[in-house]
Amino acid sequence: MSTQNALLTILVEKINNDTLVLPTLPAIALKVRKAADNPDVNLNEMGDVIGQDPSLSARMIKIANSAYMGRSVKVNSIGQAATRIGLRQIKNISTALAMEQLFVSKNELVIQYMKREWENTVNVVANSMAALQMFKQRTKNRDLSLDTMTLSALIHNIGVLPILTEAQRHEEVFANPTFLEVAIDKVSGKLGGVIMREWGFGDAFVNIAENWRNLAVLPQSLSYVDFVRIGAALSGRMDHQKDAVFNLAIQRNALESVRDLTSDEFVEMRESAKQIFA
């Protein structure tokens, strides 16, 4: 058995046996999500939870003051930021901002992969958000929200993390670019679905993590996966399907014209979105 097949076999067996080490959400994200699910929580209490993590607090204030929120008056405290963002959005935004903490490693090769995956993911997020903003402006659609879009794009390729973790644990055999590329291509989608279920996320997130590459999987109505695919195609993650992604997006009315994706307005939206994670 080749080393490539050995890695895939080990990963699949661990998935099937429920013994694969899965990433866990950062503690602060868990606290915020738990608080947000409490029907009695108020904005002051939520601000206190977020305030336990200085880094998250600073980034929440930053996002409250960003073009993402579309406001010109600046806020200076986590309480003001929580009020501006709102309880419904805080759950997804705080989870999204905490996700970067997962992309860490001690192995030099794996560090490079983690860095690459995070940078690629941020590009997908920024392009997806800009595409959704353009769609909302054109159609006045209120069914899809930017906070859920942000989180959807951030988790789309989450299945790479256990692969890289496994490579780090067996670096003498598996920490090799050839093996990692094959493993990521073959099993990251399945792993992404496993992680989303383990984290208690809904079916929509599971579907994105499992099927964002598979254009044959189409929700009946327009959904976040449509915009994740646009973002991924623009970010160079679906080069062999790029034209198909854009054609499908036009057919499903996610996109009016491919030309919109190179407009000054789109570029400005994309760069504003990217600054959230700078």
Q: What is the pLDDT along the chain (278 residues), one digit of tens a residue?
A: 455 566 667 777 877 787 777 888 888 889 999 998 888 888 888 889 998 988 888 888 888 887 666 666 788 888 888 888 888 788 888 888 888 888 888 878 788 888 999 999 999 999 999 999 999 999 998 899 988 999 999 999 999 998 888 777 776 666 667 777 777 888 889 889 989 998 999 999 999 999 999 999 999 999 999 999 999 999 998 888 999 999 999 999 999 999 999 999 999 999 988 888 87
For residue 176, count other CB atoms closer than 10 A to its CB.
Answer: 16
Q: Is residue 97 part of a domain?
A: no
Q: Is residue 166 part of a domain?
A: yes
Q: Is residue 255 part of a domain?
A: yes
Q: Is residue 210 part of a domain?
A: yes
Structural domain range at position 263: 3-22+103-275
Q: Is residue 182 part of a domain?
A: yes
Q: Is residue 258 part of a domain?
A: yes
Q: Is residue 35 part of a domain?
A: no
CATH number at residue 147: 1.10.3210.10
pTM score: 0.88
Number of structural domains (the chain) is 1
